[in-house]
Amino acid sequence: MRHARLTHIAQDLWGQVLRQGDVCVDATCGNGHDTAFLAKAVGRGGTVHAFDVQQQAIDATQQAVAGSVPGDEAPALHLHLRSHAEMRQVVADHSARVVVFNLGYLPGSDKETITQRSSTLAAVEAACQVLQPGGLCSILCYTGHPGGVEEYEAVKAAAGALPTSAWVTSEVRLLNRPSAPVLLLVWKRP
């Protein structure tokens, strides 16, 4: 929480939740940094599913994991060149300990391929299904690009509508860096 970057706050939280052998999902693998973090956290015996609609992201993620996790410590890595909204077709319900989203566009890409409000909402709904009790879904939302605010507002509203009997949902935002992204957290109660 004392990090100045919400990406690091998010990683801290994943690290607190994940144990070796867990199943987890990077719903927007992009350049692969988050997937590599997850792969290290679950290690040998674990499983990481990574989704992206861009081949460039899938390739970068494969390289990022290979470059940061030694082969004999690596989990099973499943790279899916498809929409994260189709998550339930490859990840079993109630199996994932952590599901992470880093919305917006792929850093370094053309910025024309961005996550979209409707598919993001479907993907977050799918994430809630594949999450195991006690698990965490974290969603980092960027609001600086066209459609970003609407996407963030939609996901926030969906998280806010989850019943308190089964879910704890919260928002973390930096106050003295107003242009920073916003972190939404969705916990499934044990």
Residue type at position 33: H
Site map (CB under 8 A) of its own copies, residues 13-32, x = contact: x---x---------------
Residue type at position 98: V
CB of 172 to its own copies, least distance (A): 5
172 lies in the site for its own copies, by CB under 8 A: yes
- Residues 47, 50: Cα–Cα separation, whole Å: 10
Sequence-separated (6 or more) residues with CB below 8 Å from residue 141: 103, 104, 148, 151, 152, 155, 156, 181, 182, 183, 184
Radius of gyration of the chain (CA): 15
Question: Which residue, 12 or 110, has its beta carbon nearer to its own copies?
Answer: 12
CB of 83 to its own copies, least distance (A): 25
- Residues 6, 100: Cα–Cα separation, whole Å: 13
Q: Which residue of 72, 146, 175, 179 would you call a contact of its own copies, by CB under 8 A?
A: 175
Question: Which residue, 53 or 185, has its beta carbon nearer to its own copies?
Answer: 185
162 lies in the site for its own copies, by CB under 8 A: yes
# chain residues binding its own copies, by CB under 8 A: 32
